[in-house]
Amino acid sequence: MARPGRRPVTVSAVDQIVSVSCPSDSFCMAASAPAVDASGNALIYNGSSWSAPAHLSTESMNSVSCAPGTSFCIALSDGSYYTTNGTTWSNATSFDPGKPSVLSCASATYCMITDGSTVFVLNNTSVTSSPALGGPLHGFTYSISCPTPSFCMAVDWSGAYLVYNGKTWSAPQTINSVASAVGAVSCTSPDLCMAVDSSNSNGLGGHIFLFN
């Protein structure tokens, strides 16, 4: 969505943009706001223009997240992660080969990653893993948001949400009887999260849900 007074900008030479992350309160107008696309490219916004695409992966990029207030960002592609300092991207580090994942970084030293069946915590350069909670309500995790290392919210394709308290994840819970595939969630704090679900071919869905 363009801010009032600004025209939309066409970013050329990229495929479908799949994820964008903004590390400051200025709504993507700060330096070092990256975006990733379906052809394995990553771009960085420097405050006035987008960089040329950096081709990171032969697979689609899955997700990107920036630590709030920093120029540190991580992008994922099928079980590998790439980091940026706002200028250049690192080489790939493999942690979960061949599996698309989503992530959220609470700080430059703490990111939570999940492929739906396993949860990974990236703490500095150390990666630890644990099984994700299963059950009839839990499908592939579409989005995760961690405003702090002690609180994360994850949403999935079955219309469920899960909450992390810094040690364990809650069991999956239904967001709402009308929730379908919940495609995105964003939390500014443990007290406020917003999630949206996807519209289907009949125009159903497209709901906004608030968590307090």
Q: Is residue 8 part of a domain?
A: no
Is the domain of 28 the same as that of 106? yes
9 part of a folded domain: no
Decide: helix, strand or coil at residue 107. strand
**Residues 107 and 21 both lie in one domain:** yes
How far is Cα 35 from Cα 65, in angstroms, rounded to an integer?
9
Looking at the structure of the chain, the number of domains it has is 2
Q: Please determine, for residue 27, whether its predicted confidence score (pLDDT) is greater than 80.
A: no
Residue 59 has pLDDT above 90, yes or no: yes
Q: What is the CATH number of the domain that holds 63?
A: 2.130.10.10
What is the phi/psi pair of residue 204, to 5°? -85, 155
Same domain? For 21 and 99 the reply is yes
In tens, the pLDDT along 118-163 reads 889 998 878 999 887 665 556 678 889 999 999 999 998 888 898 9
Pair of tokens at residue 201:
């071919």
Full domain range(s) for residue 51: 16-132
The CA distance from 137 to 101, in Å, is 19
Task: Find the mean pLDDT for residues 35-52.
Answer: 85
Confidence of residue 30 (pLDDT cuts 50, 70, 90): very low
**Residues 184/170, Cβ–Cβ less than 8 Å:** no
